[in-house]
Amino acid sequence: MNLYRISVVFCAVLLLAAGCAEELAPRDDASVAPEGGEGPIRHEASGSGWISAVDASAEDGWVHLDMDGLGSTSDAALRGDEAWELAFQRFKIATNSGISGPGDVRVAALRGADFEGLAEAPAAGWRQDAADGDDADVDPDLAFLAPERWYDYNPSTHVLTPADVVYVVQTGAGAFFKVRVLDYYSAAGSPAHLRVEWAPVAPPPGGIIEEPDEEPGELGEGLVVDASGRDVWVYVDVEAGAVVPEGAAGWDLAFQRTQVRTHSGTSGSGLGGALEVAGSWAAVTSAGTVGYREDELVPLPGPPGSGEVSANAVLSAWYDYDPQTHAVTPRDAVFVVRTADGGYAKAQVTGYADGKLSVKLEEVPVAPEVRQVTLAPAEAGGWTHLSLRRGEIVAAEEAPLGWDLAVSGVQVRTNGGTSGAGEGAAAEVSSALDASGSLAVEGLAADEVLPLPGPPGSGEASANAALSAWYDYDPQTHAVTPRDAVFVVRTADGGYARVRVDGYADGALTLSWIYAGAGRDAL
């Protein structure tokens, strides 16, 4: 049997996701790497093959593994020779093929395969390193990362563990090796110190089956948006149903491949937002006002640590992704989009082809709806925070301006005055909860420090005097019952809602509200 060599290479332009591995957490139970050898790769015999310890911790270089003899090299730029098969940089594994090198190395990924029992290479499923294709992320499609990643990632601990995948590598000379990653951490727990096991296998009996190129995606009905540029956002004016120049004041949506923005949050100063709705395109005839999500920094598609981008998490989930074929296909999903000026439209992606999207857009009238929620009692002395705009409980410490009302027992706060940094305030009104008309009424009062309910000396707390008067109290039975009262509440961002307390039992408060909508002060 010939011994096969090992070496190492890298290319800074190979991956757009550089810098992600340094965020990975150390691990305490890393196995001890084998001794022997020199340079960035050390190796030891293991059965019919080898276990190689690879120091891939450098962030600006690649370590090359040449499977034609023992040895190693490292470079700071792409090597021009073909005497290597694999290259390592942090968690990335490249092959001497396609965009990564001048060779003709091929890789087949076998999920769940038995490494010890694998005796021959498969006939089909072979891939080479390629530029980012018609998939969800913007990273190159490396054979060890797509369609099967060599690792599993725990987002809570930031730890990588080897996935249940065996790879078969065909060298440029036509030899075949089975490969699996045993560990990503050194004995001290440092990341990017890989242990890789590899051994020769027989070629496929009938030779490799060449597979045809995948069929490109198809575009459908609607406005065609060419968002194929990897560093360019394409902007759309929903009312006009047209693409507008970058920087145009009236844009409502922006696209960059699979990512979508609205004119809101981290992406713009407008009133934009998005909400996925149930039902078919024809069934969506109006827009509610509650539940819209504004733009925020979201993880880029791809391996952990690929970075973040300002986008709308709801709209950017418009597609399904097949990791086997890399195909991106639109989900059967309809969205309602809030535009930059507070209008509403329904939207649906009907097709996708290598960064080009077809999008149906149609304006719909707004129809504010009455919503109801029961707020469970908070821990002693604590407050439960509610967003009237999102229609959900929120963590005030994570979103200081994201909540509009807070409840603790019978006390109620708005996000303003002494209770918060927002524009919150409230007043009792005589109109019914779902009545039309203006909500920008006179006499809205901000929060202040008020005496706590109970006997004198019970203490003080910041609350809203108008809202905290929502109940009647029976000193004989100690019963708390809601008054027949409706309140106007100004939200943290200056919007308006009508609110009514419907019930109180065992410390849980039930309330209903109708929200006028972003930028609106009337129903």
Identify the pLDDT of residue 68.
67
Map residue 256 onto helix, strand or coil. Answer: strand
pLDDT at 36 over 70: no
- In this structure, are residues 397 and 407 in contact, taking their beta carbons and an 8 Å threshold? no
Helix, strand, coil distribution of the chain in percent, nearest 5: 0, 40, 60
Q: Look at residue 212 and tell me if it is in a domain.
A: no
Single out the residue of 448, 314, 466 nearest to residue 390, CA to CA: 314
Residues 6+ away with beta carbon under 8 Å from 446:
414, 416, 417, 418, 424, 425, 464
Map residue 22 onto helix, strand or coil. Answer: helix
Which of 346, 363, 380 marks a domain boundary?
A: 363
Which of 167, 200, 233 marks a domain boundary?
A: 200
- In this structure, are residues 502 and 368 in contact, taking their beta carbons and an 8 Å threshold? no
**Counted domains in the chain:** 3
Dihedral sign for Cα atoms in the order 427, 429, 432, 435: negative
Q: How far apart are CA 43 and CA 112, in angstroms?
A: 25
Single out the residue of 323, 324, 346 nearest to residue 336, CA to CA: 346
Question: According to the per-residue pLDDT averaged within each range, which of 22-36, 61-75, 413-427 is highest?
Answer: 413-427
Q: Look at residue 13 and tell me if it is in a domain.
A: no
Q: Look at residue 336 and tell me if it is in a domain.
A: yes
Neighbours of 226 (CB within 10 A): 14
pLDDT in tens, 476-515: 998 999 999 999 999 999 999 999 999 999 889 999 999 9
pLDDT at 1 over 80: no
Domain identity same for 411 and 287: no
Domain identity same for 316 and 399: no
| Strands of 22-157, DSSP E | 41-46, 49-55, 62-65, 73-75, 86-89, 92-95, 106-111, 126-127, 151-154
Domain identity same for 238 and 288: yes
Domain identity same for 143 and 271: no
Q: Look at residue 522 and tell me if it is in a domain.
A: no
Residue 69: band (very low, low, confident or very high) from pLDDT cuts 50, 70, 90: low
Single out the residue of 360, 387, 389 nearest to residue 517, CA to CA: 389
pLDDT at 223 over 60: yes
pLDDT in tens, 133-158: 655 555 678 889 877 789 988 878 88
Residues 6+ away with beta carbon under 8 Å from 225:
234, 236, 243, 255, 356, 357, 358, 359
Q: Look at residue 9 and tell me if it is in a domain.
A: no
Q: Look at residue 124 and tell me if it is in a domain.
A: yes
Domain identity same for 173 and 54: yes
Domain identity same for 346 and 397: no
What is the rounded average pLDDT for all residues in the chain? 85
Range of the domain at 245: 223-363
Identify the pLDDT of residue 29.
38
Average pLDDT of span 366-381: 91
- In this structure, are residues 462 and 413 in contact, taking their beta carbons and an 8 Å threshold? yes
User: Could you give the dihedral angle defined by the CA atoms of residues 489, 491, 494 and 498, in that order, rounded to the nearest 10 degrees?
Assistant: -30
Neighbours of 134 (CB within 10 A): 23
pTM above 0.85, yes or no: no
pLDDT greater at residue 350 or residue 377: 350
In this structure, which amino acid lies at residue 211?
A: E
Q: Look at residue 217 and tell me if it is in a domain.
A: no
Which of 363, 390, 407 marks a domain boundary?
A: 363
Domain identity same for 347 and 306: yes
Identify the pLDDT of residue 326.
76
Domain identity same for 134 and 254: no
Domain identity same for 43 and 159: yes
In this structure, which amino acid lies at residue 277?
A: V
pLDDT at 55 over 80: yes
- Residue 214 CA, distance from chain mean position: 27
Please give, one letter per residue, the 3-state secondary structure of 405-459: EEEECCEEEECCCCCCCCCCEEEEECCCCCCCCECCCCCCECCEEEECCCCCCCC
Domain identity same for 379 and 329: no
Domain identity same for 355 and 395: no
Domain identity same for 243 and 192: no
Q: Look at residue 207 and tell me if it is in a domain.
A: no
Identify the pLDDT of residue 33.
36
Residue 70: band (very low, low, confident or very high) from pLDDT cuts 50, 70, 90: low
Identify the pLDDT of residue 125.
84
Average pLDDT of span 436-451: 93
